[in-house]
Amino acid sequence: MNKPKIVILGAGYGGIMTTVKLQKMISVNDANITLVNKHDYHYQTTWLHENAAGNLHHDNTRVPIKDVVNFSKVNFVQDTVESIKPDDNKVLLKNGGEIDYDYLVVGLGFEAATFGIPGLIENAFTIDSINTARLIREHIEYNFAMYNNDPEKKQERLNIVVGGGGFTGIEFVGELANRVPELCKEYDIERSKVRIINVEAAPTVLPGFDPQLVEYAMNSLESRGVEFKLGTFLKECHPDKIVVEKDEKREEIPTLTTVWAAGVRANSIVEESGFENNRGKVEVKPDLRAPDYSNVFVVGDCALIMNKETERPYPPTAQIAMQMADIAAHNLKALISGSEETEEFVPEIKGTVASLGDDDAIGVVFGKKLFGWQATVMKKVIDNRWLLKLGGIGLLLKKGKFNIFH
């Protein structure tokens, strides 16, 4: 009898945790497990804004897959997924290869949603990988380095625009607010010449957060020189400026650095591969399987789960992706052994903390509002918890965040 083939696509939070769980739960005699990922490392997407600002080295944000996946139990294929053929139980890869599966786990993550805003794809940066995060860091530094070399000083080198006042946008401007004074010192530029501008279409930043915490966050950031343009739409993005609109009035802001952090969607491979989808995401069954293919699990940002209380989808977070991995691994084991029913996924929102730089944060943890030092500590606890779950004490000690006393 042939062993069933389990193929996991993507080594983000959902995919790699599914792999790590499976390699412990399933014997090599019972199944072949293959992990496919573009890079030979996993990275913590929720830390990338720190790398992009230049406050944390990206090597702290990534973990070599070989450090957490046992290659004697799991085949690792470094390649980019081109498409999934769920009717044929096949995955096509960029380098021309293809992989058959009996069971598939789709954990292909997100991509930026640019809502058709002219020029955004061509001219704006997005914080979505190690490659783009370190490019943003270098792009900002390069423009600071150029500033004093231009015969005529160009303000667009020192204006940094961040589109979106959601979680990522706010965390990123928080990091920038800490980083910019260092850059000014490095390149002999007055701090007052640099602008950090957050553009948000909604009337407030951090929608969904308690208004008291939002006010705390805005005060903290404004006191460190962040400008907010609320109720303001980004209409056009050019190489050297953006056009925003508020109350039907347009304004141009000269900038060579626009970072778009105002929306994500599921990896478009999911939609293109023909899965039944809801705005690009697979609305999974309670046990995380795709509605139309009972041998395909979807985890992380490609999966849609409705919150029955609010009648809105749960937001795509690392927290939920990790919890999904537990259930996906459990259910795969159940299907293969034929001995158990599949389990239902029940998300448990323990809390959410948004950092405002390295030394301030806001959040809600187990229903309690936190800000300042307490929230900062809790944010680091959350980040460290992932490392502990992924690679145990060894990984935690290597990459953990322990600089909690400022």
Binding site for a second copy (CB under 8 A): 130-132, 134-135, 137-139, 141-142, 144-146, 148-149, 186-188
Q: Which is nearer to a second copy, 131 or 268 (CB)?
A: 131
Whole-number minimum distance, CB 67 to a second copy, in Å?
A: 16
Q: Which is nearer to a second copy, 20 or 160 (CB)?
A: 160
Whole-number minimum distance, CB 193 to a second copy, in Å?
A: 16
Q: What is the DSSP string of 340-405?
A: SPPPPP-----EEEEESSSS-EEEEETTEEEETHHHHHHHHHHHHHHHHHHHHHHHHHHH------
CA atoms within 13 A on the CB side of 228: 24
Residue 301's nearest CA partner among 110, 16, 36 is 110
Q: Which is nearer to a second copy, 148 or 219 (CB)?
A: 148
Whole-number minimum distance, CB 242 to a second copy, in Å?
A: 21
Q: Which is nearer to a second copy, 81 or 288 (CB)?
A: 81
Cα 120 from Cα 138, distance rounded (Å): 19
Whole-number minimum distance, CB 399 to a second copy, in Å?
A: 17
Beta strand pairing call for 368-371 and 361-365: antiparallel
Whole-number minimum distance, CB 319 to a second copy, in Å?
A: 28
Cα 164 from Cα 237, distance rounded (Å): 14
**CB-count exposure of residue 225 (10 Å: 0-12, 13-18, 19+):** middle
CB 107 within 8 A of CB 14: yes
Q: Which amino acid is at 31?
A: A
Q: Which is nearer to a second copy, 122 or 292 (CB)?
A: 122
Q: Which is nearer to a second copy, 181 or 208 (CB)?
A: 181
Give the ranges where 79-166 is alpha helix by DSSP (H). 120-123, 130-147
Q: What is the DSSP string of 339-354?
A: -SPPPPP-----EEEE
Whole-number minimum distance, CB 139 to a second copy, in Å?
A: 7
- Report helix, strand or coil for 112: strand
Of the residues 50, 171, 175, 200, only one is catalytic, namely 171
Cα 214 from Cα 165, distance rounded (Å): 11
Cα 205 from Cα 342, distance rounded (Å): 40
Cα 137 from Cα 1, distance rounded (Å): 53
Active site (annotated) includes residue 138: no
Residues involved in catalysis: 171
